[in-house]
Amino acid sequence: MRIFNFSAGPAVLPEAVLEAARDELLDWHGCGMGIMEMSHRGKDFTGVIEAAEADLRALMGIPANYKVLFLQGGATLQFAQIPMNLLAGGSADYVVTGSWSKKAFKEAQRYGAVRLAGTTEAGKFTALPAAADLSFDPSAAYAHICTNETIHGVEMFDLPAVPAGVPIVADMSSHILSRPMDVSKYGLIYAGAQKNIGPAGLVIVIVREDLLGKAAPTTPSVLDYAVMAENGSMLNTPPTFGIYLAGLIFKHLLAQGGLAAVEQANIAKARLLYDAIDGSGGFYRNPVDVACRSRMNVPFTLADGALDAAFLAEAAERRLSGLKGHKSVGGMRASIYNAMSIDGVRALVELMQDFAARKA
């Protein structure tokens, strides 16, 4: 019996996708071997990666003048790879709204001039900066944001107003494919796979073509977006199994009705959980400003932190896993990505209500 897995990542994957991958593990489509065993340059795998890109383009409405790259190293490597490719001797602006954008800002400083355009750290990353608190350089090579902060549970539903001509670079790791997004508003989107896309190790980069070819001369070829685009993400051996599994998930989401349908399911799950928190009479609390509460990552605390261990123990008894909050903020965190069912959220809410009734 499978558990309800609320882990922030690697995270729960659709059971139907896992079953399909299991059935094809030893023999993919009658070819006598699995995806992990076949040449990445053979026609079979070429078809897999081409289908995965086509389905991702369909899901997200990716314009033709954007390249889709299937890379390795996870989103954290992108903290360095982005300035290597885009800074081009200029400067870049970073908006820091949580732990991950803070790490991206720190890493980028190794590669050139980087400005802090705004931060909410003084408020413990519980809100987004007001427009008046943001300062962008109109000559910046790009402006970097994290549209969903996994640890602090803050999500951007509207983009900051950057100067015309400054490309927005967005870390969407923990909410990509959770709702429709207008790709044309971004210069580059990147996302680690281990939330809504597939297994850890794969990272998706969606980059506008005019931003290619600007890499610093010292950039290794394998980290140069232009080189990887020219080689169809296969300058070296790509993460073949991760790409295959991502392709299955893309087809799974399309079969559900696409991202508009996925968004409605995610709204329902998030509303159910936030209503339980807000309706607990203060026994549970979510610190994030209501306007920017994440639909994917829901941190919450108990009124008495001494009860945390008991809550987690009862959660384990009910087969609810991955609820312990990040060490930097404490408390609890429920990550309710696409593959988390409404039944899983209901099971968590039932525990929360029962626990509060006995412990309040």
Fold topology of 257-359: Aspartate Aminotransferase, domain 1 (3.90.1150)
317 contact partners, CB below 8 Å, separation of at least 6: none
If you search the block for the tokens 């991202």, which residue do you land on?
259
| CA nearest neighbour of 334 among 304, 305, 293 | 293
* Predicted local confidence at residue 86, as pLDDT: 98
Between CA 56 and CA 43 the distance in angstroms is 20
Between CA 133 and CA 125 the distance in angstroms is 14
28 is catalytic: no
Q: Which residues of 115-138 are buried (b: 16+ CB within 10 A; e: fewer)?
A: eebbbbeeeebbbbbeeeebebbe
275 is catalytic: no
Positions of the chain with pLDDT lower than 50, given as ranges: none
Helices (H), the chain: 15-24, 43-60, 74-86, 99-108, 225-230, 240-255, 259-278, 308-317, 342-359
Q: What is the pTM of this model?
A: 0.97
State residue 337 phi and psi, 5-degree precision: -65, 180
* Predicted local confidence at residue 1, as pLDDT: 82
Among candidate residues 55, 93, 102, 195, the one labeled active-site is: 195
103 is catalytic: no
**Radius of gyration of the chain from its Cα atoms, rounded to whole angstroms:** 21
Strands 202-208 and 188-192: antiparallel
Between CA 68 and CA 310 the distance in angstroms is 46
Q: Which residues of 24-45 are buried (b: 16+ CB within 10 A; e: fewer)?
A: beeebeeeeebbeebebeeeeb
> Which one-letter amino acid corresponds to residue 280?
S
Contact by Cβ (8 Å): 173, 192: yes
Task: Spell out the domain ranges in the chain.
Answer: 15-255, 257-359
The 8-class DSSP code of residue 232 comes to T
- Give, in order, the Cα–Cα distances in Å from 325 to each of 26, 79, 150, 151, 227: 38, 24, 11, 8, 40
> Which one-letter amino acid corresponds to residue 238?
P
Tally the residues of the chain: 360
* Predicted local confidence at residue 360, as pLDDT: 87
| CA nearest neighbour of 17 among 196, 258, 240, 252 | 252
CATH class of 15-255: alpha beta
* Predicted local confidence at residue 331, as pLDDT: 96
| CA nearest neighbour of 123 among 143, 87, 149, 147 | 149
Contact by Cβ (8 Å): 313, 167: no
State residue 191 phi and psi, 5-degree precision: -160, 125
Among candidate residues 55, 93, 171, 224, the one labeled active-site is: 171
> Which 3 state secondary structure label does DSSP give 189?
strand
Between CA 294 and CA 155 the distance in angstroms is 5
Among candidate residues 67, 100, 102, 324, the one labeled active-site is: 100
Strands 320-321 and 4-5: parallel
Contact by Cβ (8 Å): 205, 69: yes
